[in-house]
């Protein structure tokens, strides 16, 4: 079993984030509060309760700042001063709820997705001592559900309930610096759309870049996951149809391995072979399947495969067999956060939280090869 720790903090958890040294965790128990817990010797103790309605949270690794967004259209940057956390209001200029937030790799700005069909790029203005935002408008046709920063700190990928995934330039003069002459990311203007991926006919969630930024992945509510290479120049897409329930979030643990989480309550492992073909490998927290080889189950699996292939049509799409469910989580997993990297740069430990109120820590370090 890859789950090394299971913590029941609440009845339901909306989102969570860890402190830089991973000794503290902040989460929203599906209400108007953010709870911060610290681990002492052998147990977790509640240290702070930040009273703000929260729909998204992220904790910067270098500056030790917490950013939260909420349905009241506001965002706050929380700074620790002594034993207290002091909030600073961020001007978002939104007329609908803020839904998700993420710090950029360099932590000099953060992005906020909203129900106003727009994305706010927020940065600190030293002269006036406040956080302000520039808004990318009139690009999305519906709510922005998730965000992912490219390693270059300029490109931002978004997923939306309009079924599209988009990539934008967020270059801000005075905040970002011009790169090398061979780099094209700093040549584009703020808000310029680099790519629009129209691969799904349903809501899409959980967009994420690979460590190198060469591959982009996101999940559809139609139990599909999409992998796109060379997004900036000539995108090459692969669609992978699943027999199981839809995913809500994804995480690249290495350049060729991805973990997906969602309504199956169990992390799913995907891997790419030497040719770049992605396939579903297995559930991470896998149970032994009950012996069942009846004709009915065989027919059901065959019909499922036929349905998946006929819906997608192309030979690049594949349909995977059903896998047994169950494990550490008992309800939908909504959030996955990386925790520790190994010497090879791959993620060896990550955490998940879900609607069952649990935060589970998963360790891949001593786990049998996940690609088997």
Phi, psi for 310 (deg, rounded to 5):
-70, -30
Domain ranges of the chain: 1-9+206-286+324-371, 52-175+187-198
Asked if the domains at 1-9+206-286+324-371 and 52-175+187-198 fall in one CATH topology, the answer is yes
CB–CB of 257/246 below 8 Å? no
pLDDT in tens, 140-197: 999 999 999 999 999 999 999 999 999 999 999 988 887 654 456 667 899 999 999 9
- Write down the pLDDT at residue 41: 83
In angstroms, the Cα distances linking 84 to 48, 147, 217, 305, 327 are: 8, 29, 38, 55, 37
C-alpha 266/C-alpha 286 separation (Å) is 8
CA distance 241 to 319: 5
Walk across the sheet containing 155-160 and list its strands. Answer: 144-149, 155-160, 165-169, 193-197
Is 1-9+206-286+324-371 in CATH node 2.130.10.10? Answer: yes
Cα 28 to Cα 234: distance, rounded to the nearest angstrom: 40
Q: If DSSP codes are grouped into helix, strand and coil, which group holds residue 252?
A: strand
Q: Is 303 helix (H, G, I), strand (E, B) or coil?
A: helix
Return the closest-CA partner of residue 97 out of 131, 120, 80: 120
Using the Cα atoms of residue 331, residue 7, residue 68 and residue 87 in order, give the sign of their dihedral. positive
pLDDT of residue 153: 94
pTM (2 decimals)?
Answer: 0.85
Query: Which string of DSSP letters, residue by residue, matches 4-58?
Result: EEEEE--S--SEEEE-TTSSEEEEE-SSS-EEEEEEETTEEEEEEEE-S--SEEE
Tell which residue, 315, 309, 307, 167, has the closest CA to residue 238.
315
CATH top-level class for 52-175+187-198?
mainly beta
Strand pairing partners for 169?
155
pLDDT, averaged per 10 consecutive residues of the chain (372 residues), comes to 86 94 93 92 90 87 94 92 91 92 96 96 89 93 96 96 95 82 68 93 94 95 94 90 94 96 94 94 72 50 48 41 63 94 89 95 73 50
With 0-12 / 13-18 / 19 or more C-beta atoms within 10 angstroms meaning exposed / middle / buried, residue 141 is exposed
Distance of CA 288 to the CA centre of its chain: 29
* Sheet architecture: strand order including 268-272: 247-254, 257-262, 268-272, 278-283
CA–CA dist 25, 18 (Å, integer): 5
How many angstroms separate the CA atoms of 92 and 98, rounded? 9
3-state secondary structure of 251: strand
Integer angstrom CA distances of residue 362 from 4, 5, 37, 251? 6, 7, 19, 13
Q: How far is the CA of 329 from the CAs of 7, 37, 239, 290, in angstroms?
A: 10, 20, 27, 20
Contact (CB, 8 A) for 111 and 101:
yes
């Amino acid at each position: 079993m890859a789950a090394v720790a299971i913590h029941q903090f609440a009845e339901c958890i909306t989102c969570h984030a860890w402190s830089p040294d991973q000794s503290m965790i902040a989460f929203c128990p599906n209400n108007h509060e953010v709870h911060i817990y610290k681990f002492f010797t052998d147990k977790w103790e509640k240290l702070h309760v930040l009273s703000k309605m929260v729909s998204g949270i992220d904790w910067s690794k270098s500056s030790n700042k917490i950013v939260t967004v909420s349905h009241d259209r506001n965002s706050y940057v929380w700074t620790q001063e002594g034993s207290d956390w002091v909030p600073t209001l961020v001007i978002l200029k939104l007329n609908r709820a803020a839904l998700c937030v993420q710090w950029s790799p360099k932590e000099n700005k953060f992005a906020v997705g909203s129900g106003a069909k727009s994305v706010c790029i927020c940065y600190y203005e030293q002269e006036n001592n406040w956080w302000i935002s520039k808004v990318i408008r009139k690009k999305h046709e519906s709510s922005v559900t998730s965000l992912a920063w490219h390693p270059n700190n300029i490109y931002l990928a978004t997923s939306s309930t309009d079924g599209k995934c988009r990539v934008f330039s967020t270059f801000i003069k005075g905040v970002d610096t011009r790169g090398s002459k061979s780099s094209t990311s700093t040549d584009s203007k703020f808000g310029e759309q680099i790519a629009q991926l129209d691969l799904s006919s349903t809501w899409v969630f959980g967009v994420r870049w690979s460590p190198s930024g060469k591959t982009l992945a996101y999940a559809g509510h139609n139990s599909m996951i999409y992998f796109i290479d060379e997004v900036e120049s000539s995108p090459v897409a692969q669609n992978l149809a699943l027999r199981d329930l839809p995913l809500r979030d994804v995480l690249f643990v290495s350049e060729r391995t991805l973990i997906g989480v969602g309504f199956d309550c169990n992390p799913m492992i995907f891997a790419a072979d030497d040719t770049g073909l992605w396939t579903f490998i297995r559930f991470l927290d896998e149970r032994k399947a009950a012996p069942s080889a009846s004709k009915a189950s065989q027919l059901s699996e065959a019909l499922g495969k036929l349905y998946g292939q006929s819906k997608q049509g192309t030979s690049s799409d594949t349909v995977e067999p059903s896998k047994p469910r169950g494990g550490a989580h008992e309800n939908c997993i909504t959030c996955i956060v990386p925790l520790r990297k190994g010497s090879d740069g791959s993620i060896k430990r990550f955490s998940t939280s879900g609607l069952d109120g649990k935060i589970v820590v998963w360790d891949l370090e001593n786990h049998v090869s996940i690609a088997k």
